[in-house]
Amino acid sequence: MSADLRLLAFYLPQFHTIPENDAWWGEGFTEWTNVRKARPLFPGHYQPHIPADLGYYDLRTPETRQAQADLARQYGIHGFCYYHYWFHGKRLLERPFDEVLASRQPDLPFCLCWANESWTRAWDGGHQHVLMAQVHSEEDDRNHIRWLLQAFQDHRYIRVGGKPLFLVYRASHLPDIRRTTNLWREEAIRAGLDGLYLCRVESFPDEHTDPRSLGFDAAVEFQPDSASLPIWRKLRRRLSLELKLPYRDVYDYSVYAERMLRKKSPPYPRYPCVMPMWDNSPRRKTRPTIFHGSTPELYEHWLKGAAQSFTPFSPQENLVFVNAWNEWGEGNHLEPCQKWGRGYLEATRQALTTAEPPVLP
């Protein structure tokens, strides 16, 4: 992998209590609540995921945030892409990032991804029960970008061609995407920035189109890519049938990784993304999606292959993403766990430094 590539890891801040989660899910709720309750659903199913080095941390603790940054830097991760929650001027889960911004610690590069979906009770099946809705307007777009400017002007903020990098998770949810992106760029220039570098996250099937037509500079691939899971479920592991599970969404991680490595590049700028593992059964009590059989070696092979096949669009357009640093409720993390220790971090560093992809058993 080229030393010039910058590896960014998506980062979830939901590891501290907030009044809203206390009201919706019960007092003391954090991401760890579901993680601790997880149990294996079939023989060989890796659950629960138990943290190792960092324990069941609280992100309000600066020592924890520093330890995370130290681990990331030690194993070759350039920076974190923090999820940012903005609901018509209301922010949620904001304290960890606010303290990172105010304290200027840890000194690790970062950017933001606006997770702009409405919050519902999807975890327990209540998709129609809206907890916090997104409400869009031109005034809100302006207020939003003006709040973001304080983060963009931080010396640690990740830039592309001198422009702050900002991701939008569900661009298709914006009612007038062009109006929003144009307004944001105008406000950034008015504030003295060189502009913005805007990326649309490409996760859902209806979002695999040229982002430049919507006012974005590029797309960011997201994993797992729901558009790449075939309707006929060819990638589904036979064990999901053999064990008569009440759901069918159990996939073979190794087969899926190889499929992603063969995926054609689109006719527009898109940054690659890989995932160390995925299992959202701690969150989804019915019909979870599980990628079974991940190992550090398989992840290393995928990351190495994705990085080798990616040609930066320009010297500064050199980003590769990992989903995720700490999505414990989705069984998807680089942070050490009791089963694998630092295996996925070691695999990350190895993928960044070796000349050839690892030979798999």
Domain boundaries along the sequence of the chain: 6-39+50-228+269-284+296-353
Helix (H, G, I), strand (E, B) or coil at 180: helix
- Over residues 48-98, the pLDDT tens digits come to 999 999 999 999 999 999 999 999 999 999 999 999 999 999 999 999 999
Return the number of other C-beta atoms located less than 10 Å from residue 182's C-beta: 13
pLDDT band with cut points at 50, 70 and 90 for residue 130: very high
Residue 247, pLDDT above cutoff 90:
no
Kindly report each contact of residues 203-211 with a partner whose C-beta sits within 8 Å and lies 24 or more positions away, as own/partner.
203/169, 203/170, 204/170, 204/172, 206/172, 207/170, 207/171, 207/172, 208/266, 210/266, 210/267, 210/268, 211/171, 211/268, 211/269
Query: Given this model, what pLDDT does residue 231 score?
Result: 39
Instruction: Check if CATH label 1.10.3720.10 holds for domain 6-39+50-228+269-284+296-353.
Output: no
Q: Which residue from 2, 25, 5, 4 is spatially nearest to 14, judged by alpha carbons? A: 25
Measure Cα distances from 311 to 4, 17, 259, 314, 330 in Å.
Answer: 11, 41, 19, 9, 30
Q: Is the pLDDT of residue 1 over 90?
A: no
Question: What pLDDT is attached to residue 235?
Answer: 44
Q: What is the rounded average pLDDT of the residues 258-273?
A: 95
Q: Residue 214: which pLDDT band, with cuts at 50, 70 and 90?
A: very high
